[in-house]
Every structure is written in C-alpha cells, then in structure tokens.
Structure 1
Amino acid sequence: MSIRLLPLIIASLVSTQVQADDFTIQLGGFYSQSDTNMEVTNPVSGNNFTLDYESDLKLAENEFLPFIELNYHFNERHNIYLDWKQLHRSADTQALAKPFQLEINDTIYDIKAGGKLSSTLNIDVLRLGYGYDVFQGSNYDVGLSFGLHTMFIKTGFEGMIGVCASSELLNNVCGSQAIPRIVDENVTAPLPDFGIYGQYEFVPGWQVTSHAQYFYITLNDVKGELVDIKVGVDAQITQNWRMSVAYNYYKVDVDIAQNSPNKDTQIADYNIYYSFIGPMLSISYSF
C-alpha cells in the first residue's frame, strides 16, 4: 500500500474528532450474505458429506446484521475498543432431502430424510482491541490497532431424530426415535487481528473515515480469516451526536474441526462464512 494513500485508506474506530478523553457508543447495522456448512455422515453410505445450512436447511442467505461498538480515547493517542456483531438465524425444513448423522458429546444423532426439521444457527462475533494514533494533525489522525477476535457459535436441531451411543448403531442407524432438541455450542479461541485506522476532517464537522483490519491464523483445530475494510463519511449532528454512512467490505471465514473418538461418525466440523459488501449506517454518541 502506498504511503500517499494512508490518509484516505485508513480505519476510524471512532465516529468523532476526539478530545483528550472521549468515550463513544456507536450503533448501526448492515445486511450480511452467509454461506455456512457442516461436515456430517451419510448413514446409508457411511461416507462424510457437506451439509449446507442455506440450501439444505433453508436458513436465510441474506440477513440484517446489527452491531455495537464502544471506544475509549485517552491520553490523546490511545484507544481501547470493543465491538460486537450478531447473526442469528432459524428455519423449518418441511421435508429434509438428505439424511445425516452427527456426534455431539459422545451421542450419535440420526436425522432422517423426509421429515420436518427445525434448525438454528447463532453466530456472535466479539472483538476487543487497542489502537495507537501514530500520526496526528489539526484535522486528521492515523493509527495502528491490535485486537482479539472471538466467535460464539450455537447450533440447534429439533425434529424426529434417532438417538443412541456409537455402540448401539445397527447398520449405521439408531434404532430408537425421539423428538430431542440438539444443541451444540462452540467458542473459538481469541484470534488476533491487526489494522490501520484514521480520519480526516475536510470541512468543520465533516470527516472522511476509513479502516482496514485483517487476521489469518491456524491454531489447533481452528483456522480462520477476517477481512474488514470500510470507507465512509461522518457528519456532526449536535455537539455529542454524529451520523455515519459508509461502504463496507466485511468477511469472516472460520473452519472448526472437532475430534471424535468414534472414527466411523463425523463430529460436527463447521465451515462458517459470511460477508457483506455494501452500504452501512450508524449513529454515535460521545461524552
């Protein structure tokens, strides 16, 4: 990236021209495009295959994604920020096309084809980080940031489902039937992200803001990537209130592998991907 572009392609974690000590609350939202799948077992063939949440289980591909961001700017150059994004989806499949099995907590769940299945997938993304304003002027700030990124994933299934221990499988099928609610919760280890951020006030009360954050890491059974690039215009409404319109590219792609003691059954490996390319709106209050 050219040094000449830094004042324009930078990140602003704050929506205000901050003072020495400044606390900002920012609320907003955008629409996400999701593509989520899970590795499961075909009970008929015994082979593993990829179950797609959007096409196979009918979860919405496009969904409104709210976010909240807190930022504390202190000692003129230091920033501490916390942001949270939520993507919660559920859907009913009237006649499941593909049967599948998965293992959670040493229990085999045998989900039949042709039956109704209620599916839930909740994803929350939390980031905590620190930024330092490397360059400051009368109408601009440019800084570097380091943060930790954690994903909270909750999966649920409810319907006519066979339940048994792996030793009770008969021809790869659970003999007993039930209507249980399967719930599997996972939390990724905090994964680091790095970024550059800043703002430029081109006329009093109006700023160009931008940021770029990135991480890619493989850690134990988790492999993940995050890309977050935003460029926008921020306007002062009152002394404490500001409104922002921005164009955002946001992508999260995480693979979570889980190890099963039973090698014949796949244990809910996840590939979670969602992205957003488009406008976003937010409003912030500083005090």
Structure 2
Amino acid sequence: MKLNYKLSIAILFFGITAFGQSTNNSENVASNQSSYNIENNLSMGIIQKDSTKVKEMRDVPWFVERYKFSFGFYGGYNNTNIQLDSKSGDAGAEVDFENDLGYNSYTSSIFTDFQWRSSSRSRFMLAYYNLRRDSSKKLEKTFDFGENTYEINTTIYSYFNVGVYRFSYGYAILSKPKYEVGLSVGAHILELQLGIGVRGDNINAEVSDNFGVTAPLPDFGIWGGYAFTDKFAVNGEFDYFAVQIDNIDGEVLSYNLSATYKLSNHFNITGGFNSLNTTIDVTGKRADARIKWGNNGLSLRAAYTFGTKKWK
C-alpha cells in the first residue's frame, strides 16, 4: 500500500514536470513563430515599399530638365501695317511701314527665356525679346495718319518699337522615354510704341503722331518633342487665340520648330524657326488704332540646364 502511494506520487510529479516542459516548448515555438512572422512582414513591407519607389521613378526624354536658362540671337522678317484714326473719328489710311515708310523688313535681336519643370509633366516658361526700328523716307504718296495728313514728296521720320513678353504653363498629357506631347495656356504681352513725324524748312513746329499700347494676348496651344538619339531631339509648339479685353481686341498666332543638340550634361544648343503674327484693334479716348504685325525668322540659342534628377 505504501509502495503504491509512493509510486503514485512519483508518476504525478513526472507528469507535472513533463507537462510544464511541453508547455514551455510550445510557448517557445509560438514565440519563435511570431517573431519570424513579424520579421517576415517587415521585410516584405520594406521590399514592397522599395518596389513602389522603383515603380514611381519615370524615364523621360533627356531634354526634360528641371531648370533651363537660354540666351540667343534671333533674326526675322517683319510685316507691319498700321492704321491710326483721328480723335474726331476720321479714319486714317493703313500704312505699310516696310513699303510706304522705307523700313528694312529684316531685323535682329537677342532674346532670353527660362523654363522650370515642377514635375516631369508640368512646365512653366518665361521669355522676352524686343525690336527697335526706325526710318526716314521721302513719301511717294499722300496719306492721313492720326491728326495729320502727310503729303507726297515730304521727308518724314518714323519709329516702331515692340517688346514681347511670353509666359505659359504646359502639361504633358503623353510622357514617354523618347517623346512627350502636351497642352499649354499662356499669353503674349506686347508693348508697342510707334510714331510718324515731319520737320521742313517751311514748318515752324514739328508735326507728329505718336501712339503706344500694352496689349495682353492670351493663347492656347499644343507642344511636344521627340528624342531621336541620346543627344539629338526635335521640339515644336503651336499657339492661337482671339479675345477682347476691355478696349483691346486681339488675335495671336504663334508657332515654332527647333532642333536641339546636347553638348554636355549641362549645355545644349538649339536652332529653329519662329513665327509670331498679331492683330490688335484698340479703341481709346485719344485715338483708335489697328495694328497688324508679323515677325518670322530663325533663332540660335545656347542653354544651360541644372537640377537634373530622377523624375517621379
């Protein structure tokens, strides 16, 4: 009886010990499995995050740079026709500045522009150039301009100055490794100053008519570019719009086509054809005017680019 009692206690003790050991082993296995799961999930999360980053990086044409500053030379041919009415409302004649006033149709100028890409698809552009022209000629016909009549065989002097500001925002609706195509909205702002005058031996005072206007001309357009190689690309743009703003009724048609060669990581050179044609009708207290001016020619520019990075 005593032996059975002792044997029962021994068996009970052994069972408790074995159960405890089994429980500890199960807890350790569960703990290890949990740790493995956590580490595995973290690793997968990091891998997925890295994969997402890789997927977000985009391959774009080499000419898509974050910042680009250009400086260049432009030479083009002008067509300038202007009608200036009198204050009383009498219509003036339309004067062809090239044919009637002896202007050289060819003019040249330097220009500058700046481009900023806020993303691989969005670009902001700002450009400026100006032309200053003047002439002196003996008239071959009589015409009315502003408040005065200018008689045949009278020697007159005249000037025509224009400053052109261009601002635009464009968004590339197609953006691929070799090409991009986008839409744009912007404005050409023209600062015009012009005048005709005469002074002769029998004239005691100078007779002249002068006119000036700043005309904002909004436009909408389409633009794009294609990289044929890793150093050569072609770009183009077409813009048009007609609008009336206060006392100014304007129309603008602008387009360009250019070829760019990459000299180094930060420098490239571009040659192209540029065209800008405008019609501006101004109704003012001092006088009414109609200005038709077109400028078409070739440009050559050098550009410095910086801020290159991987695009998202």
| 1:49-198 paired onto structure 2 within 5 Å | 49-95=93-139, 97-103=141-147, 109=148, 111-160=150-199, 177-179=204-206, 182-188=209-215, 190-198=216-224
CA distance in 1, matches of 2:77, 2:129: 11
Query: What is the CA distance between 1:259 and its match in structure 2?
Result: 3.8
Query: What is the CA distance between 1:124 and its match in structure 2?
Result: 1.7
RMSD over aligned Cα atoms? 2.9
Correspondence 1:238 to 2:238: no
* 2:236 corresponding residue in structure 1: 210
Bigger RCO of structures 1 and 2 (CA < 8 A, at least 6 apart): 1
Query: What is the CA distance between 1:182 and its match in structure 2?
Result: 4.9
Query: What is the CA distance between 1:35 and its match in structure 2?
Result: 2.8
Query: What is the CA distance between 1:98 and its match in structure 2?
Result: 1.5
Query: What is the CA distance between 1:40 and its match in structure 2?
Result: 4.3
Aligned-partner residue type, residue 33 of structure 1: N
The equivalent position to 1:18 in structure 2, one of 38, 50, 64, is 64
CA distance in 1, matches of 2:279, 2:62: 32
1:281–1:242 distance in 2 versus 1, CA, 3 Å = same
CA distance in 2, matches of 1:24, 1:141: 20
Aligned-partner residue type, residue 197 of structure 2: E
- Residues paired across the two proteins, number: 242
Query: What is the CA distance between 1:204 and its match in structure 2?
Result: 1.0
Fraction of identical pairs, as percent: 20
Query: Is the Cα contact below 8 Å between 2:62 and 2:230 reproduced in 1?
Result: no
* 2:245 corresponding residue in structure 1: 219
Bigger Cα displacement from structure 2, 46-55 vs 233-242: 46-55
CA distance in 2, matches of 1:281, 1:102: 39
Correspondence 1:284 to 2:283: no
CA distance in 1, matches of 2:204, 2:294: 34
* 1:271 corresponding residue in structure 2: 291
Give deviations 1:180-234, integer Å, cap 9, x for gaps: 665422111x221111222221211111211112222233443322222223321
Query: What is the CA distance between 1:268 and its match in structure 2?
Result: 5.1
Q: Give the number of the structure whose residues are more often strand, by fraction.
A: 1
* 1:10 corresponding residue in structure 2: none
Unmatched 5+ stretches in structure 1: 1-14, 104-108, 162-175, 262-266
Query: Is the Cα contact below 8 Å between 2:93 and 2:143 reproduced in 1?
Result: no
Query: Is the Cα contact below 8 Å between 1:236 and 1:242 reproduced in 2?
Result: yes
The two structures have a TM-score, normalised by structure 2, of 0.67
Give deviations 1:135-161, integer Å, cap 9, x for gaps: 222222222211022111101333228
Query: Is the Cα contact below 8 Å between 2:68 and 2:305 reproduced in 1?
Result: yes
Query: Is the Cα contact below 8 Å between 1:78 and 1:133 reproduced in 2?
Result: yes
Query: What is the CA distance between 1:37 and its match in structure 2?
Result: 2.0
Give deviations 1:60-116, integer Å, cap 9, x for gaps: 22322543221111233221111123232100013563253524xxxxx55454332
Q: Which protein shows a greater Rg? A: 2
1:119–1:125 distance in 2 versus 1, CA, 3 Å = same
The two structures have a TM-score, normalised by structure 1, of 0.73
Aligned-partner residue type, residue 174 of structure 2: F
Unmatched 5+ stretches in structure 2: 1-60, 307-312
* 2:72 corresponding residue in structure 1: 27
Q: Give the number of the structure whose residues are more often helix, by fraction.
A: 2
